Amino acid sequence: MRLVISSVSGEPMYEQIKQQIRSAVLSGELKPGEALPSLRKLARELRISVLTVTRAYNELADEGVVQNIQGKGTFVMDKGSESMKRQLADRARAALADAAAAAKAADIPLIDLMGMLEETYQQE
């Protein structure tokens, strides 16, 4: 996983870190149990404060995305956790809202859209 931080985006750096790590976890790029880079290592790589990385990791832990283990590091939580299930469901809802809007714009009937969803679901 490679993080890209922009100092001119207007979004706090810790938020950029959180979003990119959360996205990598939800997409499966980061697997359950996988260790994140150490606070110091990531801060050094991104050329930012250790406190910024600490805040991002702590907020991700509060959300249930990662787990901080004293003396060992920060690890990706299993997608079976309630928080992860909720986030994945929210992501699916957002994707379905986009699909529904596109289908309406293309005048695709609901029954056809449901068939497309079922076909796609079976392929995954």
Give yes or no for a contact between 17 and 56, defined as CB atoms under 8 angstroms apart. Answer: yes
Dist. CA 21–CA 47, nearest whole Å: 17
The pLDDT of residue 117: 93
Residues 72 and 87 reside in one and the same domain? no
The pLDDT of residue 9: 87
Residue 86's domain comprises 82-123
Q: With both helix axes pointing from N to C terminus, report the angle between 50-63 and 13-27 in degrees, rounded to the nearest 10.
A: 40
Domain boundary among 61, 76, 91: 76
The pLDDT of residue 81: 67
The pLDDT of residue 100: 95
Name residues of the chain where pLDDT drops below 70: 79-81, 124
Query: Is residue 66 one of the residues assigned to a domain?
Result: yes
Element (DSSP H or E) covering residue 36 = none
- Report the predicted TM-score, pTM, of the whole model to 2 decimal places: 0.69
The pLDDT of residue 38: 95
Looking at the structure of the chain, the number of domains it has is: 2
Dist. CA 40–CA 35, nearest whole Å: 14
The pLDDT of residue 104: 95
The pLDDT of residue 80: 56
The pLDDT of residue 27: 84
Dist. CA 42–CA 9, nearest whole Å: 19
Give yes or no for a contact between 117 and 99, defined as CB atoms under 8 angstroms apart. Answer: yes
Query: Is residue 6 one of the residues assigned to a domain?
Result: no
